[in-house]
C-alpha cells in the first residue's frame, strides 16, 4: 500500500519550499497594486445607489472641488472605448458590464464614476461627494420568489427514460438550496494602467490569465495584441474571480487614457462583493431511485441558478451527476434566473460543487433508507471503468480506491450506522462522507527556456501562479526532464510577453503547462545535441534521450561521445545563450479516453445540541489527481480547498434584501469564511498513480476536487450525528437547532 | 425619481456654477459661497510626521487621513504589508508596534511617531531569515502569499505571547488572520516548529 501522506509528513525532505517562497515570506513579492510608475495617480469608484433604472444625471461639482482631484470619468465624460462604442458593439464584445458606456443601471453598487486624484485618500474622499439622480425602476433580487416562475429546460442528453424507474423499490426525492458565495481572494482586484505611448498599454492586473486580459483589452481599444503588455507575477488568490476581465481593468485603462498618467485602481473590499463575480444562488431538486440491493436505477436532477440582467451565466451543476455513477436512466434540466445583481462567475469547483452537494446528500439519504453503509452503496454504483456519459473508458479513475483508503483512515468502522447514536455530554458526534469528480482537462500552452553559459536555465511562460504552486511544479518537471539541478532552474511567470499560456483555471493549469515544459525541455536537449555536434562529431544524430546534462556540461549516457563543458559548448558555437520555445496541447488521446480527477471526503464532527454549533474534528481527503508533481504544494491545495468546503457547508452566505435591492454582506465581518480555528488539521492523501494520457507528467488537475464533495460530507455527518437532514447551505447554528 | 442629496447641497450646487461664471460677485455672496463649499467639501490637511519603521526614521508629509497601512504601502513603498479589507477584519495588514501585533489599517499614521514599527521587511536580520519566515517556507504555510506577511507577523507575536500550547490554542490565537487559500495546516505547523 502507498504511504499515506499526512499533514505533518507530506513534505519530502529534499525540498526547501516553493520557487517563490523567499519572495513571499519577506514581503518582496509584488502584487498588482504594488508597482511604481512615473506620475502614478489613484482611482476610486463611486457606485450606484439604486438597483435598476437609468442615470438621469451625475453631479460631480463638489467632488471636483475636493483637493487633489484630477478628473472624473462618467458615462458622459470619458474617453470612448471603440469596442464599446454602441449597443451592438457592447453585445459583441462579450465584456460584461460596459462600465461608463451606458446610462443603464443593472445592480446596486455598479460603478457610475471613476474619480482620479493625486492620492488614495483624495480619490476615496472625492468619491463620497459624487451624487446622482436616477430614474429608478422596479428591481428584483429575490431568487427564492423568482425562480419557480422560470421554466426548466433539458440540459444534456437524456439517458434511458424517466418512466422506466418510477416504480423503483427505493426512492428519495428532495430539494436543495445554496446561497450566493463570494470568492473574496485576500488580495482585492487591482489594476495599474499605463499608456506608455499613444497606443501602447502596460497593465499590472490581478488576473488568472494575462493573455486573456491582453486579448480583451486589445480588442476593446482596437490595438494589436502586441501593444498590450499585461503583468501579473504574483496573484493574491483567485478561485475563479480572476478568470474574467472586470470593470476595474477597463476603468483604470480609461482613466489613464483620460489623464495621460498611470492610474492605480484597487477595489475596496465592499466592492469585491459586487464587481468580481460570485457563486450564484441555486435551487435544485434530485430524485433518485434504486432497487432493494442499492443498485441505482434512475436519477432526475433539476436546478436553477441566479444570473444578472445583462449576461447569462449557467452554473452547469447537472454535470456532476453524469460523471460519478452508473445510472441507466438519467434526466437533467436547468434554467437561469435574471436578477438585478452583477454577473456571477466560476468559483472553485464551479457548478459541480453545488450539484455535488445535492447529489451526494441524496445518495447518503438513500443509504439510510436502504440501511446500507454509504461507502458500500457508492462502491457498488461508481463507474470505475468508463465515463458513464460518453461511454469512453476512463484514462484513469481511482475514485473507489480513494473511498476505501479514506474510510480506513478515518476509521469509518467506528461510525454509528444509525443517526443520533453517539453522544458526549451536550455534543452529538457523527461521521459523513461524499465523493467529488472533475473532468481533467488540458489546453494548448507554450513555454520557453533560456540557457546561460553557466548551464543554468530560465523557464518562461505567460501562465500565472495564483498560489497553486505552478512555478514549483514547472521547476520539478523541468528538473525531471533535463536533470538540471533545481537550484539552477529559475522560473518566470505571469507576463503576456512570455510564451502564451491559458488562464489558470478549471484545474487545467499544471496539466496544460507541463506538456509545454516537457516539449521545451526536449527542444533544449535537441539544441544542445546540435551545438555539441559542432564541437565533436560523435554527437551527430544522437537521440536526446541519451543526452545527460550536469552542472558543468553535457555528456552521453552511453557510447563514445566525450563530455563537453558549457564553456566549450558556448564558446565553440560563439553563443551567449541558448533560447528555445515550444508548445504542446492535447492530442487524439482525448478522443479515445475520458479524463477525470476524483476525491473522497470524510468528516467526523460534533454538533452542540443546545447552541447548534458544529465543530469539525477531522477531515480526511483522499485524492486521485494522477501523479503528484509536488506533494507539498498539492496537499496544500487540497487542504485549502477543504477549508473552502467547510466555509461553503457551514458559514458562507450572501443574502439579499429585496426591499432595498441590496446585498447584505459587503465586508469580511458580514461574510464569514473559515478562519484557522474553524478548520481541523486537514488530512490529505493522494493515490499518486500517473495518468500519462493526460499529459507527459502524468498529473491530473487538482484545484477543484478538493472542494467538490466537502459540503455534502459535512452535511451527511451532521445527519449521522443528529438525524437532521439539512438541505439549505450554509448550515448555520439556527438551521441546526430548527431543523 | 430618486434624489440622493439634501436641499442645501442642491441649492449650493445649482448656484455654484452660476456664481463661478460671474465676473463681479459681491463680497458677501462670495463669502457665503466659500463658507458653504468649505462646509460641504472638507479640505485636505497634512502634517509632517517622523515615523520609525524597521529602525529607520522617515520624515514624511502625510494626509491626516492616512492610515499606517497606506503610509507604508503608498508613501514609503513598503508594500510587504498587505491590504485585505482596510477595516480590521482580516489581519493582512498586521505589523508590530513596539513589539506588539497591531492592525495597521486601523492605525492612523499620525498615531505612530515616537513608536517603533516593524513590518515584514524588517523581520529578518540582514540576510538571515527570521525563524518564523524559515518555518513558513519549510511548512509551506501559504499559497498565494498575500496573507503571509500578516500571518508571519502575527505568528511571531503568537509565539512571544505564549499562545502555542496546543494546536487548538494556536488556531484560536491565529484566527484574526484570514487565509482564503486555506493554508492553515502549514501555518499551524510553522508556529509549532518555531515554538518548540
Ligand atoms: S487590512 Fe487591516 S485587517 Fe484587513
Ligand atoms: S496564502 Fe493566499 S490568502 Fe493566505
A42 and A268 in contact (C-beta within 8 Å)?
A: no
Q: Please tell me which residue of chain B has the smallest CA distance to A30.
A: B79
Per DSSP, helices labelled H in A185-230 are: 210-221
Looking at the complex, does the CB of residue A642 fall below 8 Å from at least one CB of chain B?
yes
- Mark yes or no for CB contact A640/B74 under 8 Å: no
- Mark yes or no for CB contact B41/A29 under 8 Å: no
Q: Which of B80, B42, B94, B84 is nearest to B64 (CA)?
A: B42
Question: Which of B66, B96, B135, B184 to mutate against chain A (most A CBs within 10 Å)?
Answer: B184
Residue B9: which pLDDT band, with cuts at 50, 70 and 90? low
Contacts of residue A67, defined as CB under 8 A and 6 or more positions apart, other chains included, come to A122, B43, B44
d(CA A573, CA A588): 39
Shortest distance, CA B51 to any CA of chain A (angstroms): 19
- Among B44, B80, B182, the residue with its CB nearest the CB of A67 is B44
Domains of chain A as residue ranges with CATH: 40-138+186-237+242-275 (3.30.365.10), 282-441+591-738 (3.30.365.10), 445-585 (3.30.365.10)
To test ligand 1's pocket by mutation, which of B79, B80, B81, B89 has the most ligand atoms within 8 angstroms of CB?
B89
Q: Please tell me which residue of chain B has the smallest CA distance to A467.
A: B144
* pLDDT given at position A7: 34
ipTM: 0.96
Chain A contacts of B91, Cβ < 8 Å? none
**Nearest residue by C-alpha to atom 3 in ligand 1:** B88
d(CA A386, CA A397): 9
For residue A544, CA distances in Å to A357, A516, A563, A654, A692 come to: 49, 17, 15, 56, 20
- Mark yes or no for CB contact A236/B174 under 8 Å: no
pLDDT digits (tens, 9 = 90+) for B160-191: 999 999 999 999 999 999 999 999 999 999 99
pTM of the model: 0.95
Question: Which of A133, A186, A237 to mutate against chain B (most B CBs within 10 Å)?
Answer: A186
List, as ranges, residues 441-470 from A with C-beta within 8 Å of B: 466-469
Sheet holding A489-492, edge to edge: A489-492, A457-460, A445-452, A577-584
- Give the CA count within 13 Å in the CB-facing half-sphere of B78: 24
Percent of residues, chain B, with pLDDT higher than 70: 87
Residue A573, class by beta-carbon neighbours within 10 Å (0-12 exposed, 13-18 middle, 19+ buried)?
A: middle
Domains of chain B as residue ranges with CATH: 46-122 (3.10.20.30), 131-195 (1.10.150.120)
E strands, B75-171, are 94-97, 100-103, 116-118
- Among B5, B85, B136, the residue with its CB nearest the CB of A668 is B85
Q: Which of A664, A648, A675 is nearest to A729 (CA)?
A: A648
Whether the CB of B103 sits within 6 Å of ligand 1:
yes
Shortest distance, CA A32 to any CA of chain B (angstroms): 11
To test ligand 2's pocket by mutation, which of B139, B147, B152 has the most ligand atoms within 8 angstroms of CB?
B147
Element (H, E) at B51: strand B46-53
* Rg value, chain A, Cα: 27
Whether the CB of A186 sits within 6 Å of ligand 2:
yes
For residue B71, the 8-state DSSP code is I
The Å distance, Cα A237 to ligand 2 centre, comes to: 7
For residue B64, CA distances in Å to A2, A121, B59, B73 come to: 61, 9, 14, 16
pLDDT digits (tens, 9 = 90+) for A14-52: 456 899 999 999 999 999 999 999 999 999 999 999 999
* pLDDT given at position A4: 38
pLDDT digits (tens, 9 = 90+) for B88-132: 999 999 999 999 999 999 999 999 999 999 999 999 987 899 999
The Å distance, Cα B119 to ligand 1 centre, comes to: 14
Whether the CB of A237 sits within 6 Å of ligand 2:
yes
* pLDDT given at position A82: 97
Residue carrying the nine cell digits 420568489: A145
d(CA A72, CA A308): 27
B81 and B73 in contact (C-beta within 8 Å)?
A: yes
d(CA B155, CA A25): 12
- Mark yes or no for CB contact B183/A234 under 8 Å: no
Shortest distance, CA A682 to any CA of chain B (angstroms): 7
Residues of chain A where predicted confidence (pLDDT) is lower than 70: 1-16
* pLDDT given at position A373: 98
- Mark yes or no for CB contact B1/A268 under 8 Å: no
Whether the CB of B179 sits within 6 Å of ligand 2:
yes
Chain A contacts of B146, Cβ < 8 Å? 31, 185-187, 234, 236-237
* pLDDT given at position A134: 98
List, as ranges, residues 70-129 from B with C-beta within 8 Å of A: 70, 73-74, 77-87, 89-90, 92, 119-121, 123-124, 129
pLDDT digits (tens, 9 = 90+) for B22-61: 556 677 777 887 788 778 898 999 999 999 999 999 999 9
The Å distance, Cα B179 to ligand 2 centre, comes to: 4
- Mark yes or no for CB contact A269/B136 under 8 Å: no
Residue A450 corresponds to which cell in the numbers above?
533560456
Whether the CB of B149 sits within 6 Å of ligand 1:
no
* pLDDT given at position A1: 29
Chain A contacts of B69, Cβ < 8 Å? none
- Mark yes or no for CB contact B189/A56 under 8 Å: no
A147 and A337 in contact (C-beta within 8 Å)?
A: yes
B13 vs A192: which has the higher pLDDT: A192
Contacts of residue A181, defined as CB under 8 A and 6 or more positions apart, other chains included, come to A278, A279, A347, A647, A648, A652, A653, A654
To test ligand 1's pocket by mutation, which of B150, B177, B179 has the most ligand atoms within 8 angstroms of CB?
B150
The Å distance, Cα A235 to ligand 2 centre, comes to: 10
**Nearest residue by C-alpha to atom 4 in ligand 2:** B179
In the predicted structure, residue B16 carries a pLDDT above the cut 70: no
Q: Which ligand 1 atom sits closest to the C-alpha of B88?
A: 3
* pLDDT given at position A683: 96
Residue B4: which pLDDT band, with cuts at 50, 70 and 90? very low
E strands, A493-593, are 547-549, 553-556, 564-565, 577-584
- Among A125, A133, A676, the residue with its CB nearest the CB of B187 is A676
Question: How many contacts (CB atoms, under 8 Å) link A and B?
Answer: 226
- Give the CA count within 13 Å in the CB-facing half-sphere of A224: 3
Q: Which of A377, A280, A282 is nearest to A327 (CA)?
A: A377
In the predicted structure, residue B5 carries a pLDDT above the cut 50: no
Contacts of residue A591, defined as CB under 8 A and 6 or more positions apart, other chains included, come to none
List, as ranges, residues 189-228 from A with C-beta within 8 Å of B: none
- Among B1, B144, B145, the residue with its CB nearest the CB of A133 is B1
The Å distance, Cα A132 to ligand 1 centre, comes to: 31
* pLDDT given at position A560: 85
Whether the CB of B88 sits within 6 Å of ligand 1:
yes
* pLDDT given at position A656: 95
A347 and A240 in contact (C-beta within 8 Å)?
A: yes
Q: Which ligand 1 atom sits closest to the C-alpha of B176?
A: 3
E strands, A513-613, are 547-549, 553-556, 564-565, 577-584, 596-608
Amino acid at each position: 500500500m502507498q504511504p499515506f501522506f499526512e499533514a505533518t509528513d507530506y513534505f519530502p525532505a529534499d525540498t526547501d519550499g516553493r520557487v517563490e517562497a523567499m519572495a513571499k515570506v519577506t514581503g518582496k513579492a509584488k502584487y498588482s497594486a504594488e508597482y511604481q510608475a512615473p506620475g502614478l495617480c489613484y482611482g476610486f469608484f463611486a457606485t450606484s445607489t439604486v438597483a435598476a433604472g437609468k442615470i438621469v444625471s451625475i453631479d460631480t461639482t463638489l467632488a471636483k472641488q475636493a483637493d487633489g482631484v484630477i478628473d472624473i470619468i462618467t458615462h458622459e465624460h470619458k474617453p470612448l472605448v471603440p469596442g464599446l462604442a454602441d449597443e451592438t458593439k457592447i453585445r459583441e464584445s462579450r465584456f460584461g458590464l460596459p462600465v461608463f458606456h451606458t446610462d443603464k443601471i443593472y445592480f446596486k453598487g455598479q460603478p457610475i464614476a471613476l474619480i482620479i486624484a493625486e492620492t488614495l485618500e483624495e480619490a476615496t474622499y472625492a468619491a463620497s461627494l459624487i451624487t446622482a439622480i436616477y430614474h429608478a425602476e422596479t428591481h428584483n433580487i429575490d431568487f427564492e420568489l423568482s425562480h419557480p416562475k422560470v421554466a426548466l429546460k433539458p440540459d444534456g442528453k437524456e439517458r434511458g427514460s424517466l418512466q422506466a424507474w418510477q416504480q423503483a423499490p427505493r426512492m428519495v426525492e428532495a430539494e436543495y438550496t445554496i446561497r450566493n458565495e463570494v470568492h473574496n481572494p485576500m488580495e482585492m482586484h487591482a489594476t495599474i494602467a499605463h499608456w506608455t505611448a499613444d497606443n501602447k498599454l502596460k497593465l499590472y492586473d490581478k488576473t488568472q490569465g494575462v493573455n486573456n486580459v491582453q486579448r480583451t483589452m486589445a480588442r476593446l481599444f482596437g490595438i494589436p495584441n502586441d501593444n498590450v503588455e499585461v503583468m501579473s507575477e504574483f496573484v493574491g488568490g483567485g478561485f475563479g474571480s480572476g478568470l474574467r476581465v472586470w470593470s476595474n481593468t477597463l476603468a483604470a485603462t480609461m482613466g489613464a487614457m483620460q489623464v495621460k498618467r498611470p492610474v492605480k485602481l484597487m477595489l475596496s473590499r465592499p466592492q469585491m462583493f459586487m464587481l468580481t463575480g460570485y457563486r450564484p444562488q441555486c435551487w435544485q431538486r434530485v430524485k433518485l431511485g434504486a432497487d432493494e440491493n442499492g443498485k441505482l436505477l434512475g436519477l432526475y436532477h433539476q436546478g436553477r441558478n441566479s444570473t444578472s440582467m445583462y449576461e447569462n451565466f449557467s452554473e452547469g451543476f447537472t454535470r456532476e451527476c453524469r460523471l460519478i455513477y452508473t445510472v441507466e436512466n438519467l434526466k437533467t434540466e436547468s434554467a437561469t434566473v435574471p436578477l438585478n445583481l452583477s454577473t456571477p462567475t466560476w468559483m472553485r469547483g464551479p457548478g459541480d460543487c453545488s450539484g455535488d452537494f445535492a447529489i451526494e446528500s441524496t445518495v447518503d439519504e438513500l443509504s439510510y433508507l436502504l440501511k446500507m453503509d454509504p461507502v458500500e452503496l457508492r462502491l457498488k454504483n461508481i463507474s470505475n471503468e468508463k465515463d458513464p456519459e460518453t461511454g469512453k473508458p476512463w484514462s484513469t479513475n481511482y475514485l473507489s480506491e480513494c473511498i476505501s483508503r479514506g474510510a480506513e483512515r478515518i476509521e469509518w468502522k467506528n461510525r454509528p450506522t444509525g443517526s443520533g447514536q453517539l453522544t458526549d455530554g451536550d455534543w452529538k458526534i457523527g461521521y459523513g462522507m461524499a465523493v467529488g469528480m472533475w473532468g481533467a482537462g488540458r489546453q494548448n500552452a507554450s513555454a520557453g527556456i533560456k540557457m546561460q553559459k553557466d548551464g543554468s536555465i530560465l523557464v518562461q511562460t505567460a501562465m500565472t501562479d495564483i498560489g497553486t504552486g505552478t512555478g514549483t511544479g514547472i521547476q520539478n518537471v523541468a528538473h525531471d526532464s533535463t536533470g538540471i539541478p533545481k537550484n539552477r532552474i529559475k522560473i518566470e511567470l505571469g507576463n503576456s510577453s512570455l510564451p502564451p499560456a491559458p488562464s489558470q483555471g478549471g484545474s487545467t493549469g499544471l496539466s496544460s503547462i507541463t506538456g509545454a515544459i516537457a516539449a521545451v525541455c526536449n527542444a533544449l536537449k535537441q539544441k544542445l545535441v546540435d551545438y555539441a555536434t559542432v564541437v565533436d562529431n560523435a554527437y551527430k544524430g544522437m537521440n536526446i534521450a541519451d543526452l545527460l546534462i550536469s552542472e558543468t556540461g553535457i555528456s552521453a549516457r552511453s557510447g563514445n561521445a566525450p563530455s563537453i563543458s558549457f564553456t566549450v559548448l558556448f564558446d565553440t558555437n560563439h553563443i551567449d545563450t541558448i533560447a528555445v520555445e515550444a508548445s504542446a496541447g492535447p492530442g487524439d488521446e482525448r478522443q479515445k479516453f475520458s479524463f477525470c480527477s476524483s476525491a473522497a471526503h470524510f468528516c467526523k464532527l460534533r454538533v452542540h445540541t443546545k447552541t447548534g454549533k458544529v465543530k469539525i474534528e477531522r477531515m480526511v481527503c483522499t485524492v486521485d489527481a494522477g501523479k503528484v508533481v509536488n506533494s507539498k504544494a498539492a496537499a496544500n491545495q487540497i487542504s485549502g480547498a477543504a477549508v473552502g468546503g467547510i466555509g461553503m457547508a457551514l458559514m458562507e452566505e450572501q443574502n439579499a434584501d429585496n426591499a432595498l435591492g441590496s446585498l447584505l454582506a459587503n465586508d469580511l465581518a458580514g461574510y464569514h469564511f473559515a478562519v484557522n480555528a474553524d478548520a481541523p488539521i486537514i488530512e490529505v492523501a493522494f493515490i499518486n498513480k500517473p495518468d500519462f494520457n493526460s499529459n507527459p507528467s502524468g498529473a491530473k488537475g487538482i484545484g477543484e476536487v478538493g472542494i467538490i464533495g466537502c459540503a455534502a460530507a459535512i452535511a451527511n455527518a451532521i445527519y449521522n450525528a443528529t438525524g437532521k437532514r439539512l438541505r439549505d447551505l450554509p448550515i448555520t447554528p439556527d438551521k441546526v437547532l430548527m431543523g | 425619481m430618486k434624489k440622493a442629496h439634501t436641499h442645501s447641497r442642491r441649492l449650493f450646487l445649482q448656484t455654484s456654477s452660476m456664481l463661478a461664471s460671474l465676473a463681479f460677485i459681491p463680497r458677501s455672496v462670495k463669502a457665503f459661497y466659500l463658507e458653504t463649499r468649505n462646509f460641504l467639501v472638507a479640505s485636505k490637511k497634512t502634517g509632517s510626521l517622523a515615523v520609525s519603521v524597521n529602525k529607520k526614521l522617515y520624515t514624511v508629509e502625510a494626509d491626516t487621513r492616512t492610515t499606517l497601512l497606506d503610509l507604508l504601502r503608498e508613501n514609503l513603498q513598503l508594500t510587504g504589508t498587505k491590504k485585505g479589507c482596510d477595516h480590521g477584519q482580516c489581519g493582512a495588514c498586521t505589523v508590530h508596534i513596539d513589539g506588539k501585533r497591531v492592525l495597521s489599517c486601523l492605525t492612523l499614521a499620525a498615531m505612530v511617531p515616537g513608536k517603533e514599527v516593524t513590518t515584514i521587511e524588517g523581520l529578518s536580520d540582514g540576510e538571515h531569515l527570521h525563524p518564523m519566515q524559515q518555518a513558513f517556507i519549510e511548512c509551506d504555510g501559504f499559497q498565494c502569499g498575500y496573507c503571509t506577511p500578516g500571518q508571519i507577523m502575527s505568528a511571531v507575536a503568537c509565539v512571544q505571547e505564549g499562545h502555542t500550547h496546543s494546536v487548538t490554542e494556536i488556531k484560536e490565537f491565529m484566527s484574526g488572520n484570514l487565509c482564503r487559500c486555506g493554508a492553515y495546516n502549514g501555518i499551524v505547523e510553522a508556529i509549532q516548529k518555531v515554538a518548540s
